[in-house]
Structure 1
Amino acid sequence: MTDTPEDGPGPRSPASLIKAAALGECPRCAAPTMFRGAVQFADKCGHCGLDYSRFNVGDGPAGFLTLIVGAVMAILAIVVDQMLHPPFWVHVILWVPLTIAMVVYGLRLAKGALLIVEYRRGAREAQSRGDGGGE
């Protein structure tokens, strides 16, 4: 494997960014080591040692994505109910697992893509100046 510079070989296309995020590829070496769980980041890359904890992805994607998935699922549930009139239990076994799967997979994509973009752009967490923050 060749050694890549710290800021990587350059920007990825949107398709490769989504693919890399879905597969959990390290932004430095492309090894699938970014996640240790469904949506929980590993501490560092097991292949090249990139420290994932230095990136601040935050919880923004979770709230935003949950609202989007909730709206889509509600619309789909209403359409299915109006067209097919299924019993309530069909809605439960259809929409609950589908919603959970879409939120978890969407979070994996969003968090992975944000970490990759932060790495590519060299983004870092803000540092305090240590002077009390006053004027």
Structure 2
Amino acid sequence: MEDKAHFPPVNPVSAGLAGNCPRCGQGKLFSGFLGLKKNCAACGLNYSFADSGDGPAVFVIMIVGFIIVALVLIVELSYQPPIWLHLVLWLPLTAALALGTLRPLKGVMIALQFRHSAEEGRLADTDNGENQD
């Protein structure tokens, strides 16, 4: 691992929300909508450690789902609009909120992964390679 003493600590939430490098906060993290660059253009950090998995999608489902269900219930109980109006209102809003929050949440998860040196879990080798029958 490279020496981090040359880089002041970066707030992982603000760096992640902005889609910036979790080490220097200057370079960009993403090459496309959700694709990661190979490394940071500013500090050279290799992004091969970054694996957010399904974490961002789970948070998007929970956050967007809570907002949409609350709004649907409020509108339904207050105005009782026809079902077609619910579809016209909530399907585009759900898609927009989900797409709008997925990238920032992925950036935050990668920045937190870097900050806490999170790695893939491994099982400890308890018998040192020997099979005890």
Q: Give, in angstroms, the shift of residue 45 of structure 1.
A: 2.1
The 1-side partners of 2:33 and 2:64 are apart by 17
Give the corresponding residue for 2:94: 99
Once the two structures are TM-superposed, the CA of residue 123 in structure 1 deviates from its matched residue by: 2.6
Does the 8 Å CA contact 2:10/2:23 hold for their aligned counterparts? Answer: no
Does the aligned pair in 2 maintain the 1:27–1:116 contact within 8 Å? yes
Rg (Cα) greater in structure: 2
Matched AA of 1:74: V
Supply the distance in 2 between the matched residues of 1:80 and 1:132 (Cα, whole angstroms). Answer: 62
After superposition, the C-alpha distances for 1:51-107 in whole angstroms (9 at most, x for unaligned) are: 222122211231243134223312211211221333333322321122122222322
Root mean square deviation, CA, Å: 3.1
The answer for the alignment partner of 1:10 in structure 2 is 9
Q: Deviations over 1:19-60 (max 9, x none)?
A: 322210111222251112333322322333322221222112
The residue aligned with 2:33 is 38
Figure out how many residues of one structure are paired with residues of the other and give that number. 128
Match in the other structure for 2:62: 67
TM-score for both structures, normalised by structure 1: 0.70
Q: Give unpaired runs (5+ residues) of structure 1.
A: none
Instruction: Tell me how far apart the structure 1 counterparts of residues 114 and 73 of structure 2 sit (CA, whole Å).
Output: 41
User: Which residue identity lines up with residue 79 of structure 1 in the other structure?
Assistant: I
Answer yes or no: is the 8 Å Cα contact 1:65–1:103 preserved in 2: yes
